[in-house]
A and B are shown apart, each in its own frame.
Chain A
Amino acid sequence: QQPVQSPQAVILREGEDAVINCSSSKALYSVHWYRQKHGEAPVFLMILLKGGEQKGHEKISASFNEKKQQSSLYLTASQLSYSGTYFCGTDPGPGNQFYFGTGTSLTVIP
């Protein structure tokens, strides 16, 4: 029931792009994305409610494919400040529990 994220870890140079995938075994009502820096609490990035919806946050955007029960987070022109662990959170809808994904560690180097 915990959504699976891929890749588990990625290292980028500043300015490079990355994609983080989140896959659920259950039909989804919404998907959240959070970023957690080392030693800190997770911080909300965005929520996607509709199938195929794409949202943006600075140079970070995401898509949500209801039919495939998947979401992807896109980081373009990465900055050092993007380093951290990214979690998706999946909401299957009323009566079901919200689960966080397995996490993806992202490291941006100069």
Chain B
Amino acid sequence: DAGVIQSPRHEVTEMGQEVTLRCKPISGHDYLFWYRQTMMRGLELLIYFNNNVPIDDSGMPEDRFSAKMPNASFSTLKIQPSEPRDSAVYFCASSLLAGGQRNTGELFFGEGSRLTVL
């Protein structure tokens, strides 16, 4: 089975440019998460969706960041305009709601998108 698929794997852009990161979750998974990883802050949750609906976006740094999930098989994270401090690895992860409870299932991570903003 295909895992979580992210693109691009690497992105180098200049400050002020728009960046769009893409994610295809594992088919059948109800939850989708966007994380950002840096040496200083570790793994930070930016936003997560349940059945395509954004549930908690309190981790989104500021209005420059936006995320959408138009359908169950696709999500985007957009940064506009980008800044050097946005440089990080962005991970998408998905999981399956188990047993009718709040999500207690394992997270399946994509390989990440490494963003460098010059």
Q: Enumerate A1-53 residues with CB–CB distance to B below 8 Å.
A: 2, 29-30, 32, 34, 40-44, 47, 49
Size range of the interface on B? 10 to 19
CB distance from B105 to the nearest CB of A (A): 8
Residue A110, interface by CB 8 Å: no
> What residues of B have a CB within 8 angstroms of the CB of A30 in the complex?
104
> What residues of B have a CB within 8 angstroms of the CB of A47 in the complex?
104-106
Size range of the interface on A? 20 to 34
Stretch at the interface among B20-28, B62-70, B73-81, B109-117: B109-117
Query: Known contacts being A29-B102, A47-B104, A97-B45, is A41 close to B112, with CB within 8 Å?
Result: yes
Residue B18, interface by CB 8 Å: no
Q: Enumerate B32-90 residues with CB–CB distance to A below 8 Å.
A: 35, 42-43, 45, 56, 58-59
Residue A87, interface by CB 8 Å: yes
> What residues of B have a CB within 8 angstroms of the CB of A2 in the complex?
42
Which residues of B come within 8 Å of A, CB atoms? 35, 42-43, 45, 56, 58-59, 91, 102, 104-112
- Apart from A43-B109, A47-B105, A94-B102, list 12 A-B contacts with CB within 8 A: A41-B91, A41-B109, A41-B112, A42-B43, A44-B106, A47-B106, A87-B42, A89-B107, A99-B45, A100-B42, A101-B42, A103-B43
Which residues of A come within 8 Å of B, CB atoms? 2, 29-30, 32, 34, 40-44, 47, 49, 87, 89, 91, 93-94, 97-103
